Structure 1
Amino acid sequence: MSRRRGDDRGQATLELIAMLPVVLLLTGLLLQVGAIAWAITDTTEAARQGARASSMGQDGCSAAEAALSGSLTIVPSSCSAGGGTVALQVRAPILVPGFDDVRISRSAEMPDVTER
């Protein structure tokens, strides 16, 4: 069997192998951006829950930590609460190497109902 001039067999395989690292990198970056967006949403909701608890005279930081999903934790000594206001900071989950210590800060305020 002789090879003909201009034979393109295997060309698609080579192109796929060449593009695979780019596709994997873009997929990883999309997953990382999604994880950060999820962490922002979850942290915002935790801050609101903490502010609600703080406005009722309860410990806002504990309520915020309880409202966070299992993989998110508050950065030590970054939570402050009082008078219906909570500010906290969490570390986003890292899925792609190179994203080191992405921190998300959120705060929320609710009317203080204990003063009435």
Structure 2
Amino acid sequence: MRMRVRSLRDRSRDRLDDRGTSILEFAGFLPILLVIGLACIQLGLIGYGINQAGTGARAAARTASLGGDGVGAGVASVSDWLDPQVDAPQGAGDTTTATVTVTVPAIIPIFDSWPVTRRATMPNNDDG
């Protein structure tokens, strides 16, 4: 009977010794988790920038094809923090093409910001 009690004590002592091991493993893995999380956020920002550039290009091309201020429409339809650069000249032929470039900031310090460019073409207004 005495041997059995002693082995139970040893087992409980072993469990107490293992408690600190899991926290050390987590602390070692935490930087990897943070980098993966930041990379996911960065990919989301790039996707958002692509969406915003496409929306701005469509708005600029549509407004310029109707004879309006395409640059103003393109800038107004993109988030200001993306610093949109819009080129929306009135088309000479049947179509007008607008180009919008936005700059997606980098949240991971070792990388630079990403420029994203999108173009859209719209038919010109036939009223004339």
1:43-82 paired onto structure 2 within 5 Å: 43-75=53-85, 79-82=87-90
* 1:93 to partner: Cα distance: 2.5
Q: Which runs of 5+ in 2 are unaligned?
A: 1-9
**TM-score scaled by length of structure 1:** 0.85
**Partners of 2:54 and 2:100 within 8 A in 1:** no
Offset of residue 11 of structure 1: 0.7
Secondary structure class of the residue paired with 1:91 = strand
Amino acid at match of 1:16: F
Deviation at 1:5, TM superposition (A): 6.3
**Structure with more relative contact order (C-alpha pairs < 8 Å, separation 6 or more):** 1
Query: Which structure: greater helix fraction?
Result: 2
Larger deviation, residues 96-105 vs 26-35: 96-105
Which amino acid in structure 2 is aligned with residue 32 of structure 1?
Answer: Q
Q: Report the aligned-residue RMSD.
A: 2.2
Q: What is the number of equivalent residue pairs in this alignment? A: 113
Q: Secondary structure at the match of 2:81?
A: coil
For normalisation by structure 2, the TM-score amounts to: 0.78
Q: Which has the larger radius of gyration?
A: 2
Query: Structure 1: which 4+ aligned runs deviate by more than 4 Å?
Result: none
